[in-house]
A = this chain, B = another copy of it.
Amino acid sequence: MAAMNPDAVARAFVDHYYTTFDVNRAGLGSLYQEGSMLTFEGQQVLGSQNIAAKLAALPFGQCQHKVSTVDCQPSGPPGAVLVFVSGALKLSGEQHELKFSQMFHLVPTPHGSFYVANDIFRLNYG
């Protein structure tokens, strides 16, 4: 997977991340590691366990992410990729979609995969 170009890594990750979020949110925890950081609407959370707990405790159940744009750039350690996403979030039972922006810093693991070292999420209030 180290030979994949950043665009392919970003696309594959974004597909996997939001599908997992929408159908099996508890599965997201394994994408993070001990030193991973999440900033969700300004709240900072450190480490995969705390991040998984934070995502599980978000005040909405079923939801659906629609991705509008995915930008990426190589950055940091060799093979690492910055991913910048814009999209909309539809909550179950709600009419309106919420626009969001999110960035991830993906860092390669020794096993040929990637983990999320950094994750920052913001709703874009209109």
The reply to whether the CB of A64 lies closer than 8 angstroms to some CB of chain B is no
Q: How many copies of this chain are found per oligomer?
A: 2
What 0/1 pattern do residues 12 to 49 of A give for CB contact below 8 A with B? 00000000000000000000000001010010100000
Question: What distance in Å separates the Cβ of A31 from its nearest Cβ neighbour in chain B?
Answer: 16
Residues of A at the B interface (CB closer than 8 Å) are 37, 39, 42, 44, 69, 71-77, 80, 82, 84, 86, 99, 101, 103, 105, 117-118, 120, 122, 124, 126
In the complex, given contacts A37-B74, A71-B120, A101-B101, what are 11 additional A-B residue pairs having Cβ atoms less than 8 angstroms apart?
A: A42-B71, A69-B122, A73-B118, A75-B105, A76-B77, A84-B103, A86-B101, A99-B124, A103-B103, A103-B120, A124-B124
